[in-house]
Chain A
Amino acid sequence: MKLGNLGTSRGKEIGWIVLFVGPGLLLALGIKFYPLFRGLYDSLFFFEGGWKPVYVGLDNFHRMFLDKTVQQTFFNALKVMLTIPVWVLFPLVLAFLIFQETAGWRVFRAVFFLPYVIAPIIVGQIFREILGLQGPLNAFLGLVGLKLMTTAWLANTFTAIWAMVAVVLWSFSGLGIITYLAGFATISDDIFDAAAIDGAGFLTKIFRIILPMTVPVIGYWTVLCTGGMLLWMFPFIHALTEGGPGHATMLPEYLVYITSFRFFERGYGTTIGVALFFVVLTFTFFQVRFMYEAGAPRQKQKGGAA
């Protein structure tokens, strides 16, 4: 494009595009891509004592693959990801209940969203007290005759990780509900009216109308949840358990933090971070591809109808 063309309408159009897209693109490059490539670079070095780093090639990766603690954290991540169906369906059901405008639905909508606006670290500290051995949860269980179920929820090797997931689910569900409600709003009321005439019940509406017609929204929320489980649990881990007892609730992102900033092994911590990036990338790739393939036939149908 010659400079002389800038005066043309095409040139002006390009100028406006650059003006509006440019800052965002620069921000993305600076905040997302630069750290990514810098991380890849740093993972090839050994950092010691703040002195000049030493190039070690793939030694950090070799060490990581043999590191039992790293293996455990990724195994824990896998356990957490097994709960994805709950993360997807729980807010969906709540959102549909609100969508049906049952009594008090506006209040419920606000109340369900409230946990999301509380800072995660505060949520973690609150639940640390609630889930404590002498906390309100155990007190309640004792009161209703379930004393046998009382335990130190965050200190029990088996329950700690599930308790933590439950806390995070409580915190994030509000966002899922709002996301689903936005998706439901795109479904024509005529369809629900027709279903009501045909005598469709609650479950039928969910499985025959809601789920099929909100696949893209479900897909989007699933991708968000996957990323969240692998990348957004840090404040909860830090407030609730610091990865304990032992490493029972340690996830890769928290291990990156303690390796880099407590053990001060920057190169090795970055290596674990790089591994986490590729795991998240892999999951996200297949999920987005599934969403695309699931959405493609619907797009073709719409194109045919037009």
Chain B
Amino acid sequence: MMKTNRIAIIVISIALIAIIGGTSFAADQKKVTIKVLNWAQGGQEYWDKTAEAFSRENPSIQVEYESVPFERYYEKEGTYLASRSGPDVMANNLGFELWERAGAYKDISKRLTPKIKRSLYDYTGCALAFDEKLGILGIAPSYQGNLMYYNRELFTNAGLDPNAPPADWDTFGKYAVKVKASGKAMLAMGTGHTIAYWFFPEIAKNFWKSSEDIQQFMRGQIPWSDPRMRKVLDFMAWMADQGWYQEGAATTTMLPDAGDVFIRGDTAMIYGIASDVFNWKTWGDAMGHQNIGVMKWPMIDPKAPFAGKFSGVGGFSVGIAAWTKNEEAAWKYVEWMASEENANLFLKLAGGQPNNKNFDKSIITNSPSFTKIQSIISNNMPHTGVMLSGRELDAISRGYEQIILKQITVDDWAKTMQDALNDSDLKKPTAAIWNH
């Protein structure tokens, strides 16, 4: 009897071990690894923490990041798009940059619940042509848009009220005279892609009469010879003639140097954005948060319907690759990136403006600029900088450099812009975007 009991105990033990081991084995087998391609926007520390935080909530999914420096990102991403293999999730800036790659992403419009949509400042930025009926290609964890930052101390030294930054360009010009008299330049400038993304939309918004104007511009239906577009180029050229920029502003690779110029205190103001780089955190960490002021771009015509609005759009999107074999795991990750938890991490570690409205506002208490930005972004409009095609973006940046250097006229510039528009396949009526 005892021998039988011993045998029974051994057999049952072995069976239990086999079941538990088998279950663990099965669980391990169900563990999925998803690969995410990004440019470590916001810093590697933030991304490492997101992987940890996400995996805590989703133990069966492991996240592997492939972070590529932004200068090489398109090259790397391009090879994956060409081979239609590689990462399960990819990042892209919004607008045409994302739409140009639309065939590489899965449409997640059916997955976006009303609750998710309500929680975000912007979700249509990830939709083709900002129209969710055409398909949504991802979710943006961050919110982005154009601002101007200023050095409060230099304003004070110039005899200006740091609590009353210029709201229109006339006042800006008067402030510039005083800043120049104090021995500084007014506005740090670096030509490059920022001309297209950060500069152009802030001048153009003074000339849009309606949302239909913006739609037409997006679809390439407004030529650069149109009076509205010509006024934009003329005004940008006029700004270059005012002596507001620091010496040597006009080189295509000047952008990071412009940041140095502002931090050094050689200029009173700089244009920048809400998230990522050249933002309240960059300047505040370098120059002291109490010394940094922020404002919307000045207006040309305060009565224009869009003049006082914040040009906003999702900062970057994360979307599911069209070739992924781990679609459900990839969706869980994308969905989590739009969550409140990620928003808090993004703000705390990356210093970016979260797209989720429900982030913990008490995380940042030392930056008056960040607090002010929360009120600025609530009055927003579509960001027309991301509606420039790749060719238009290149032409406007190159052209502005030459305008500052007086190498070309505005007529020449308008012509190159029109040539760029004519060569932009995605802005033709036959483009797949509009016929998808």
Chain A: residues with CB nearer than 8 A to chain B? Answer: 46, 48-52, 128, 132-134, 152, 154-155, 157, 238-247, 257-258, 260-266
Contacts and interface: CB of A to CB of B under 8 A. Distances in A.
B407 A245 contact: yes
Contacts of B390: 262-265
Main secondary structure of the interface of A (DSSP, over half): loop
Interface string B102-126: 1111000000000000000000000
B67 interface: no
Interface in B380-408: 389-391, 393-394, 398-399, 401-402, 405, 407-408
A243 B252 CA distance: 8
B408 A246 contact: yes
Given A154-B251, A263-B394, A245 B402 contact: yes
Interface stretch (B74-82, B271-279, B280-288): B74-82
Interface stretch (B7-15, B173-181, B292-300, B424-432): B424-432
Contacts of B389: 263
B182 interface: no
A42 to B, nearest CB: 8
Contact of A155 (B78, B102, B104, B251): B251
A243 B402 CA distance: 12
The range of chain B's interface size is 35 or more
Contacts of B101: 49-50, 264
B99 A49 contact: yes
A40 to B, nearest CB: 15
Contacts of B433: 49
Given A51-B432, A246-B407, A246-B408, A133 B247 contact: yes
A238 B74 CA distance: 14
A244 B398 CA distance: 7
A275 B71 CA distance: 25
A7 to B, nearest CB: 43
3 tightest Cβ-Cβ pairs between the two chains A and B:
A50-B103, A51-B103, A133-B248
B253 interface: yes
A49 B103 contact: yes
Contacts of A266: 78, 82
Contact of A261 (B75, B252, B407): B75
Contacts of B391: 263
B89 interface: no
B410 interface: no
A19 B100 CA distance: 46
B322 interface: yes
Contacts, number: 102
Interface in B302-324: 322
Nearest to B393: A262
Contacts of B100: 48-50, 264
A264 B102 CA distance: 12
A128 B253 contact: yes
B154 interface: no
A240 B102 CA distance: 32
B134 to A, nearest CB: 12
B203 interface: no
A135 B257 CA distance: 12
Given A261-B74, A264-B390, A245 B401 contact: yes
A48 B426 contact: yes
Contacts of B432: 48-49, 51
B250 interface: yes
A265 B253 contact: no
B197 to A, nearest CB: 13
Contacts of B252: 241-245
Contacts of B251: 128, 132, 152, 154-155, 241, 244-245
A263 B250 CA distance: 23
B394 A50 contact: no
12 contacts: A49-B431, A49-B433, A133-B247, A155-B401, A157-B407, A244-B251, A245-B250, A246-B408, A261-B74, A262-B390, A263-B390, A264-B78
Interface string B151-195: 000000000000000000000000000000000000000001000
Given A49-B99, A258-B394, A239 B253 contact: yes
Interface in B50-71: 71
A235 to B, nearest CB: 10
A132 B71 contact: no
A134 B402 CA distance: 19
Given A49-B432, A242-B252, A245-B402, 18 more contacts: A49-B426, A51-B103, A132-B248, A132-B257, A133-B248, A134-B248, A152-B251, A155-B251, A244-B251, A244-B252, A244-B398, A244-B401, A245-B251, A246-B402, A246-B407, A260-B78, A263-B394, A264-B74
Contact of B398 (A152, A246, A257): A246
A264 B252 CA distance: 20
Given A51-B103, A133-B248, A247-B398, A261 B253 contact: no
A240 B81 contact: no
A245 B78 contact: no
Nearest to B96: A264
B28 to A, nearest CB: 34
B408 A50 contact: no
A213 B253 CA distance: 45
A133 B401 CA distance: 14
A20 B420 CA distance: 51
A90 to B, nearest CB: 27
B74 A262 contact: yes
A48 B425 contact: yes
Contacts of A245: 250-252, 398, 401-402, 405, 407
B23 to A, nearest CB: 41
A247 to B, nearest CB: 7
